[in-house]
Structure 1
């Protein structure tokens, strides 16, 4: 059976994480982050109506200046795809799906925002720890085996995690030792 190299083991760990429900939670957290960014951005702009007005004004400004060279236009709008949140003495970036107008990239949460951000950051940290634990568990099992055969004996369900090229036994071409000895000059005596 083919040997499990470090690279193959890393691929197995990566596939195991990607197939797990924990990874789907990570994707859901990313979507939740985008929604949180948008809520904070709208809050900073003063509500939905003011945010819509700012976007309308920006759109009109860009339309009226479309023929000017872009390097000569200094947009009066601050656009960013991240807002820096200061919470419990630490700073965290909340990323948006796209760059949007913001009043300020800095946000100091108070009241309900503290709870929302605290819950989000707690969920992110819990997900990160769950992924690390899963990676450690899979890698611990992989350390105890050297070949795909040993892995499949210890963990039969891992077959779908093993890359196809690791399953194929590579045969070394047969070399005639007489020709090799002649080419090297062996025996030397």
Structure 2
């Protein structure tokens, strides 16, 4: 008989979050924020044409500094020219936005003073749309996690879990003992609806 250990409960909870679609939706939202950061950067630099010109000038400066380093003692540097993040202000709301998923994407970044947008600016409107989407996703994430946690707290074994919530079988790791779940199930329709179980019905 397989016990519902804390580690197993964590796996089941994570599988439920992924099954519900919220994990993938959060990843997609992160990419939308990344795109907004890139759009903000271009706008703050004066548009695509001016941004391209700034990039070209920056590359020339970097090349010249490298040449100077070869001719001198190697102490010629360009400071604070690139970053992996930008700090725009949308209608007075300051927000940190990353250009990429991690800190490896570093770009020529304008000063914060050039990243202030009025509330009715298209970038500000887009920002508010993403914030609203994030709020809904955060709510769904908490809803799934809390409800799954509540269901798991009432059980000590996998067999008992499947007795009261048969559809949870889809959330178990493949190597977990297959317990019987022929006993009458409790009312878990709402929980199944939130997560999207069973798969056949959700499809």
Show structure 1 runs of 5+ residues with no match: 170-189
Partner residue, 1:181? none
Matches within 5 A, 1:29-44: 29-44=29-44
Aligned length: 168
**Residue deviations 1:51-107 (CA, integer Å, cap 9, x gap):** 1111122222223334638x7342156212222234576532111112211112463
Instruction: Indicate yes or no: 2:131 matched with 1:121.
Output: yes
| C-alpha contact (below 8 Å) 1:2/1:168 kept by paired residues | no
Partner residue, 1:103? 110
| C-alpha contact (below 8 Å) 1:79/1:102 kept by paired residues | yes
Query: Higher relative contact order at CA 8 Å, sep ≥6: structure 1 or structure 2?
Result: 1
Q: How many Å apart are 1:161 and its aligned residue?
A: 2.2
Q: Distance in 2 between matches of 1:135 and 1:90?
A: 30
The root-mean-square deviation of aligned C-alpha atoms, in Å, is 2.5
TM-score normalized by the length of structure 2: 0.72
Larger gyration radius, structure 1 or structure 2: 1
Say if 1:7 and 1:43 are closer, same or farther in 2 by CA, change over 3 A: same
Show structure 2 runs of 5+ residues with no match: 180-203
TM-score normalized by the length of structure 1: 0.77
| C-alpha contact (below 8 Å) 1:58/1:77 kept by paired residues | no
Pick from 83, 87, 102 the counterpart of residue 86 of structure 2.
Answer: 83
